Each structure stands twice: as structure tokens, then as C-alpha cells.
Amino acid sequence: PITPGELLCLGSSLAFSGLFYYLYRKKARVVARIQEAPKLQVDDDLPALVSAADGRCLPYIALEGIVLPAKAALTSHYHEGLQGVIQKLLLKEHRLIWNSLARSW
């Protein structure tokens, strides 16, 4: 005989497994789209390509090219001859929701 507690544990286990599988498949589709992204070169044709795109936006592209540092390149303390730069601009959009309890956005 199966007890109600065992049925509850089995049902919640199946529900969590289904939820995690759904999230896994959703992220796998995003990863597949990123891996299939077209590779574009950073050159003079890029602004014209972006302005000609639908909505002036290119979803999931990989840019290849030479990056010049704004001031000086960062050098690695661990690997000799390895240099890098820091991304200067990061655009992150958030949806603002009014919280009436805290009276803030």
C-alpha cells in the first residue's frame, strides 16, 4: 500500500522534474541560437547593416575585429604578453514596477 505522503513526494518530484526539464530545453534553444549566430566584422559597413536591419537591431550576432583601449590596455599578472580591455558601455534594460507598499519603483 502507498501512503498519501509517498504520493505527495512522487507528485512533487515529477512536477519539479518537469519544470527543470522545461527550463533546460528553453536554455538549450537559446544556446543553439547563439552558436548559430552570424559572424560579422567590425568595419565601415556595420552601421549601414544595423540601420538596414528590421527594427535597427541584429539579434544574436558575433562581432569580430580589433579593439582599441580608451586609455591603456590591461596586462595580465599571470600570463606574460596577454592583454585585454574592459567593455566601456553596457546597456541593460529593466522593467520598472511601482511597489505601493515601499512606495518606490
Question: E strands of 34-73, at which residues?
Answer: 39-41, 62-64
Q: Which amino acid is at 20?
A: F
β-pair type (74-75, 83-84): antiparallel
Q: Which residues are paired to 63 by β-bridges?
A: 40
Comparing CA positions, the residue from 16, 19, 62 lying closest to residue 39 is: 62
What is the predicted pLDDT for the residue at 89? Answer: 63
Q: What are phi and psi of 83, to 5 degrees?
A: -125, 160
What pTM was estimated for this model as a whole?
Answer: 0.48
Confidence category of residue 91, pLDDT binned at 50, 70, 90: low
Give the span between the Cα atoms of 61 and 38, in whole angstroms.
5
What per-residue confidence (pLDDT) applies to 88?
A: 63
**pLDDT, tens digit, 9 for 90 and up, residues 9-60:** 999 999 999 999 999 999 999 999 888 888 888 888 888 888 888 888 887 7
